[in-house]
Each structure stands twice: as structure tokens, then as C-alpha cells.
Structure 1
């Protein structure tokens, strides 16, 4: 896995031992199987993460006490090669309601052979978060590990 930090974006990539369609499905539909359990906005027991598989959908955390936290909007959904979602999280790690101050995460999937897929994740437009945005860039640069995803995607 490599991670590159540009001025206003962070890119990480990994090759996974899975066919293209499966790699895409685990990243989206199976997001709760690999997402770091400590990386959620609300306190409490998380019961599931839901990735709505269509443009206009959302990524929503569901908690045992019935609360829901919709922290992302699906901006592009092109199975099995590309997905883009918003990062509706502010510099205080709370929901951002001003959508002009949100960044985007693009994930591209490329088949290397029938059983291996190259995955490139780019978290871009981090400067949209406003004053102090480099702290978000630095945080996501260290937080976007795809190692758990690579484990979860194994058939």
C-alpha cells in the first residue's frame, strides 16, 4: 500500500486478492466489514453501516439505541469500476451541514487479472473544509489504511 499526500488531496492504493466485482461490492455493500470501528462520529454501539448503492444515496451509521448518522452522500456509482462519495465531516469531526465545505472520496477499481484488483482511493478537495483544512488532510492521510479492506475482500 502506498499513500501520497498532495496539497489538497490524499491518495492511497492497494492490490487486493479478489475479482473486480467482488472488490467493488465489499468496498460498498460490505463497508461495515472493513471500516475501522473507532472511526465513527457518534458515541455508542454501532450495529451497522449502510452504503446506499446509487447516486443520491448515502452512507449511514446505525446505532443500537436507534440513532442514525448520515455522514456522506453518494456522488457517483459506477459498478464495478468507480464510486465517489462526499465527506460531510468538519474539522471538529462532526457533521458538516454546509455542503460547500465538504470534500470527496473517489475510489477506482481496475482488474489486474481475474483474481486481483488494483484499488486507488483519492480523498480530494480537502481545502473546501476552510481555515485549518491541512489538519483534515493530515488526519485522513494517516487514517485511510486499506489493510482491513484487503483482508475483508479475500474470498
Structure 2
């Protein structure tokens, strides 16, 4: 049996002018305040994006009609330095309930001073996804994680 070829990870990095504790808190507990509402896969328009703050927690959207659509699960929860979640959205923009088909998003928060934090994202194991290359191509075409990090940085700047 041959394994799927490795698809290069997507990465992003940004500096924000808040402490590492505040950056982690804003990224996770205030996830809904900065995540773009147009980035959803549910049938209904998205009312909110939710990231549960514990290992095994869900990462999902709630639609305006009350419906819920999972995106993945929290694998690592190490405040204020690291968060890893599964990405269980395949290349057809549908939730895949099979954990073996999930890619991973590793988010690291590194202090750069009392009010400075570097946030780095690595979205890896895209080859595990059904149509993983199509997913990577779509994310790159839409600005990939850098665009999301810019929205996060704007939210962090608004908190100053």
C-alpha cells in the first residue's frame, strides 16, 4: 500500500501588540468576535463560531437557524502558548466525521515582550483530507491563513 504524497503545510505568522496571555485569550475565548462570518460550511448563514476551551472540545459554527456544523476538535490546549485543532473539512467544503481524515492546525503564541506576541499557524497533514490538494489550492487562492491572522491582528489592535 502506498501512502498519499505529502502536501506542503500552509503557514502564517503575525505580530500583535498584546501580551501572550491576552493574545491566546482573544484567539480562543473571543474567537467569534474576529472569525469572518463568510467562512462557514453549514447550510444556514453563520450566527457564531465557537471554540471550546479544552482537549476534546468542539470547534464549530452555529447557524442563524440554530443548526450546528462541526469543523473539528481540540487536540492540544496549552494556554497561553499553544492550541492544536483538527480540521475535518474536506476539499468539497463538507465536514468529514472520520478523525483519520483530519488535517491539523497548530497555533503557537510566543511572547516578544510585555505587550508583544508572535502568532504562528501551521496547517499540516492536508494529504489526509479527501481532496486535500483542492482544499490547499482553495485556501491559498483565498489568502490562506495570513488573511485570517490579519483579522485577528485587527481585533487585537482594537483591544489596546
Give the match for residue 134 of structure 1: 133
Supply the distance in 2 between the matched residues of 1:133 and 1:89 (Cα, whole angstroms): 9
Unpaired runs of at least 5, structure 2 = 1-5
1:12-67 C-alpha deviation (Å, 9 max, x unpaired): 10001111111001111111111121110013332222211000001121122110
Cα deviation, residue 135, structure 1: 1.8
Give the match for residue 79 of structure 2: 79
Checking the alignment, whether the CA contact within 8 Å between 2:37 and 2:48 is kept in structure 1 is: no
Checking the alignment, whether the CA contact within 8 Å between 2:85 and 2:105 is kept in structure 1 is: yes
Query: Is 1:100–2:117 an aligned residue pair?
Result: no
Supply the distance in 2 between the matched residues of 1:87 and 1:95 (Cα, whole angstroms): 9
Local SS of the residue matching 2:38? coil
Checking the alignment, whether the CA contact within 8 Å between 2:88 and 2:129 is kept in structure 1 is: no
TM-score by length of 2: 0.87
Cα deviation, residue 133, structure 1: 2.0
TM-score by length of 1: 0.90
Local SS of the residue matching 1:153? helix
Give the match for residue 3 of structure 1: none
Checking the alignment, whether the CA contact within 8 Å between 2:38 and 2:46 is kept in structure 1 is: no
Unpaired runs of at least 5, structure 1 = 1-5
Query: Is 1:149–2:148 an aligned residue pair?
Result: no
Supply the distance in 1 between the matched residues of 2:105 and 2:58 (Cα, whole angstroms): 13
State the 4+ residue runs in structure 1 displaced beyond 4 angstroms.
Answer: none
CA RMSD of aligned residues (A): 1.5
Give the match for residue 3 of structure 2: none
Aligned residues: 149
